[in-house]
Amino acid sequence: AGGFLSDRWLGRQEPEGDVMKLENRSLTKYKLIIDDAGGWAWFQRVLVVLKEVGKEHGDATVSEVAIAWVLRQPGVAGVILGCRDDKHLWSSWRASSLELTDNDLAAIDNVSRSAATAAAAAAAA
């Protein structure tokens, strides 16, 4: 997710102005995806839940929990990671052994639904 699914963005204000002025093209692309999926407030709720789940697992990082969640999805055999340094590499390795509970998975599933998906589900109920 271009680095957005990390502790770095938890609690930060939404990047202001032209998204093209973000640090790199990857951040620009993923910021536009965040906007489409539910906006910055929704994204912050996702990060909060990822952090809370991480605290239940020896203070795992937001990124580690996100990777562990993706690996638990049906049909997913692996993830593509961009590791810039040893810290990222070891964090990604720790994520592969993180055992999320059914409650963890449900909490992340519930908060990570996009605003559009949540609205459609509510309308169908």
Half-sphere exposure of 19 (CA within 13 A, CB side): 13
Average pLDDT over residues 100-125: 81
Whole-structure pTM value: 0.82
Residue 121: pLDDT band (50, 70, 90) is low
Contacts of 25 (CB under 8 A, 6+ apart): none
Residue pair 3/27 in contact (Cβ under 8 Å)? The answer is yes
Task: Sort 68 into a burial class: Cβ within 10 Å, 0-12 / 13-18 / 19+.
Answer: buried
Residue pair 64/94 in contact (Cβ under 8 Å)? The answer is yes
Identify the residue with better confidence: 66 or 17. 66
Report whether pLDDT(23) > 80: no
Average pLDDT over residues 12-22: 74
Identify the residue with better confidence: 49 or 80. 49
